[in-house]
Structure 1
């Protein structure tokens, strides 16, 4: 009897497994014959084993990942399930994935750093104030280097810290300082999991784009039963592999595609200390640049003055004025795609006296009894200029910040400026600038989409998919032309 046949028998037999998984018994018989469970059913089988309290991990082969550079940071927080994280380490070590491990002080009450170090064959990080580690700013290196940060188990405490911005140890500091994908695998008492505070934190983290491997339902170590049980290590491992495969598919989606992205505000000086600008933080443009870079694009980011870290894209150009931004966009052409996300100042103000005398703007303008007037000079429209030029990229996308008539005003811009897609948002009452969330409309020539409010990182992810669709359609039209 092969391994899969043994497994099906252990789970109750062909008929029972088929009924519980809601598939035909003939499919189960085929699994036994081939000694293989399809990848899309592995998670269901693992959950069934967990439900029946049967350890089935050794029946399922570990999948090797070769020639795939991927880094994971595992954070082990302090719960009774901490010991199960050792099995996650063991499974990851069978692959080519690079793994680092951080343990909280509470986790060390259940397992020792020495045990983790021995299993992972690398140092286990435990202390934010380690002289040896922090001379290299190790908490920042640990935050920035991984592709995934997996918190397993994730206690109610570490969820609350992350949701509310607390950073009082190495693990919580890393989580707040990271751009990486964060995945939490909660483990706690069922009453704690269903507590309103925990539910609020869960919802808050989901809105920020943090992903969860939902806890299982079953008997707990405390003697109670319900939802909150730590997911089986194999199920967590399979979840991570699934994410990595999807990431691998997307990693070359925009290979050899050149993309110019403008972001942030522009500044128009009135004199050496005064200027005209806006409240744009650059966050949405930076998230788009980051996402498209991850998907293999050659991204040039042209940004006005911002106070946030720059993404790791191929080329970053810093500018101040609208004219500087236009000049730099033009210099980067030709390109395949242009995304004008910057909030460009529409005017620059030229000061004059009430008697129409020019004022020296190279020095600070002094207050006098004479009335000061400003002439508004229109700045170049970067989006329209490039969209109507001979070097127009294949795809041109603009952003539209509106306070009223959002769809109508944005559609007018789409048509008048010869743009393929407008991303519109409502900026009234300062709903967008500087925030981490965005609610956008996608305006096309023939239709529009309205997206739910979500993190700017999530907007960037979904927008990248739409950009890929536009590029595919463009290439089809080019072939048929």
Structure 2
């Protein structure tokens, strides 16, 4: 599956650089086109000529050395890559990437790329276990970077423990699997229309005040981005959010729960999959004041009324649609998710405990449990929200092929 794939290998300094040379050779033998960027420290261990001979490509290390005057080298490399692989990745390199520092050819290129980035750490066991390194790894993980875990064994410093760069054969196997799954995933939702709701709603009190919640829309926008990458025709219906609109979606902006209800029902008949990830208000003020409420010396009482239950209304009307709801809970997460699944006649509920680190509103990561009709529960580890989204769609497609246990109305 690596035939013709473009891999940008970024080599930072450490004794494991010799393994990066072997990795270059094996990737090229597997049919990949490999270009190498080296740090100054890496060149102290292995000469660039070695990588040039193994890759049969120019080797890069100086941001200002433009080999082709018609191109800006680090931007060209960033756009060229199908996969960026940092191996070995030192603690220093991981720290710079996590904090947006761009002071060499590797860091400037990675900041500019939209390709998947893999990090293969290699360092002393105590360095790898340092809180700063752990924090930086978690930050990169939140960016959507993937990690090739180091193996355990004898280290160059004399210690025995975790910190060895993974063997080139294993890395090649992982890369090959990545491209195989990616090429397969590109068609996962081909020909399907996916409707996604995202963000909060705002329920007005008066011209200057409203009730809302802490949702940022990050999960919903990640679901839209992932659906596009998997080949779907995507409609994103979003409450107020400052996030950039994902490329390739039909975007519908709403403010209130009532507006979201109507926009979802407008497109529901033609949808194949509906993902209701928006945090829609359950209640709204019964009266909206035309003028600003003035402060008084007594307590203020505002009467609320229920908003329409969008997920339940879709469950009552669905025919061929596969319906996915979300449940943000703080206690008894799985229990509430199963109850919601049955009550709302959904096909899947994605539940998370918003109190868990990395799983609340506004984070770049999420840790969820996927509950499907029939009572099956699949727990995912902490992943970036785009990766969570892809796993949700994979589970949905598997479930759709088996057929929902709910009788279609």
Q: Same fold (TM over 0.5)?
A: yes
241, 245, 248: which is aligned to 2:183?
248
Q: CA deviation at 1:399?
A: 0.7
Aligned to 1:459: 388
Q: Does 1:360 align with 2:294?
A: no
Aligned to 2:278: 342
Alignment partners' CA distance in 1, 2:260 and 2:80: 31
Does the 8 Å CA contact 1:165/1:176 hold for their aligned counterparts? no
Q: Give the stretch that moved more between structures: 380-389 or 184-193.
A: 184-193
CA-to-aligned-CA distance 1:433-476 (integer Å, 9 cap, x gap): 11234333333443242625512344334322321221101289
Q: Does 1:471 align with 2:400?
A: yes
Question: Measured at CA, do residues 468 and 276 of structure 1 come closer, stay the same or move farther in structure 2, by a change above 3 Å?
Answer: same
In the TM superposition, 1:178-189 aligns within 5 A as: 180-189=115-124
Q: CA RMSD in A?
A: 4.3
Larger Rg: 1
Alignment partners' CA distance in 2, 1:84 and 1:107: 12
Q: Does 1:72 align with 2:32?
A: no
CA-to-aligned-CA distance 1:204-251 (integer Å, 9 cap, x gap): 47965622153474574x788776454554553343122211222222
In the TM superposition, 1:207-286 aligns within 5 A as: 208=142, 210-212=146-148, 214-215=150-151, 217=153, 220=156, 228-231=163-166, 233=168, 235-286=170-221
Q: CA deviation at 1:259?
A: 1.2
Unpaired segments of 5 or more residues in structure 2?
none
Unpaired segments of 5 or more residues in structure 1?
1-62, 353-358
Alignment partners' CA distance in 2, 1:229 and 1:425: 34
Q: Taking CA–CA contacts closer than 8 Å with sequence separation of 6 or more, which of the two structures ends up with the larger relative contact order?
A: 2
Does the 8 Å CA contact 2:37/2:59 hold for their aligned counterparts? no
Secondary structure of 1:253's counterpart equals coil
Q: Does 1:446 align with 2:374?
A: yes
Alignment partners' CA distance in 1, 2:308 and 2:6: 44
Q: CA deviation at 1:155?
A: 1.2
Question: Measured at CA, do residues 64 and 211 of structure 1 come closer, stay the same or move farther in structure 2, by a change above 3 Å?
Answer: closer
Alignment partners' CA distance in 2, 1:316 and 1:71: 32
Secondary structure of 1:459's counterpart equals helix
347, 350, 359: which is aligned to 1:423?
350
Q: Give the stretch that moved more between structures: 151-160 or 87-96.
A: 87-96
Question: Measured at CA, do residues 416 and 191 of structure 1 come closer, stay the same or move farther in structure 2, by a change above 3 Å?
Answer: closer
In the TM superposition, 1:52-71 aligns within 5 A as: 65=3, 70-71=5-6
TM-score by length of 2: 0.77
Alignment partners' CA distance in 2, 1:348 and 1:282: 20
Aligned to 1:394: 321
Question: Measured at CA, do residues 226 and 475 of structure 1 come closer, stay the same or move farther in structure 2, by a change above 3 Å?
Answer: closer
Aligned to 1:37: none
Aligned to 1:320: 255
Does the 8 Å CA contact 1:152/1:186 hold for their aligned counterparts? yes
Does the 8 Å CA contact 1:302/1:317 hold for their aligned counterparts? yes
Aligned to 1:381: 309
Question: Measured at CA, do residues 229 and 374 of structure 1 come closer, stay the same or move farther in structure 2, by a change above 3 Å?
Answer: closer
Question: Measured at CA, do residues 351 and 415 of structure 1 come closer, stay the same or move farther in structure 2, by a change above 3 Å?
Answer: same
Does the 8 Å CA contact 1:289/1:299 hold for their aligned counterparts? yes
Question: Measured at CA, do residues 468 and 450 of structure 1 come closer, stay the same or move farther in structure 2, by a change above 3 Å?
Answer: closer
Question: Measured at CA, do residues 401 and 144 of structure 1 come closer, stay the same or move farther in structure 2, by a change above 3 Å?
Answer: farther
Alignment partners' CA distance in 1, 2:248 and 2:28: 30
Question: Measured at CA, do residues 343 and 84 of structure 1 come closer, stay the same or move farther in structure 2, by a change above 3 Å?
Answer: same
Secondary structure of 2:302's counterpart equals strand
CA-to-aligned-CA distance 1:347-391 (integer Å, 9 cap, x gap): 332557xxxxxx325xx54445687553424333221222222x5
Secondary structure of 1:374's counterpart equals coil
CA-to-aligned-CA distance 1:176-223 (integer Å, 9 cap, x gap): 776653322233356655x54587459747965622153474574x78
Question: Measured at CA, do residues 268 and 94 of structure 1 come closer, stay the same or move farther in structure 2, by a change above 3 Å?
Answer: farther
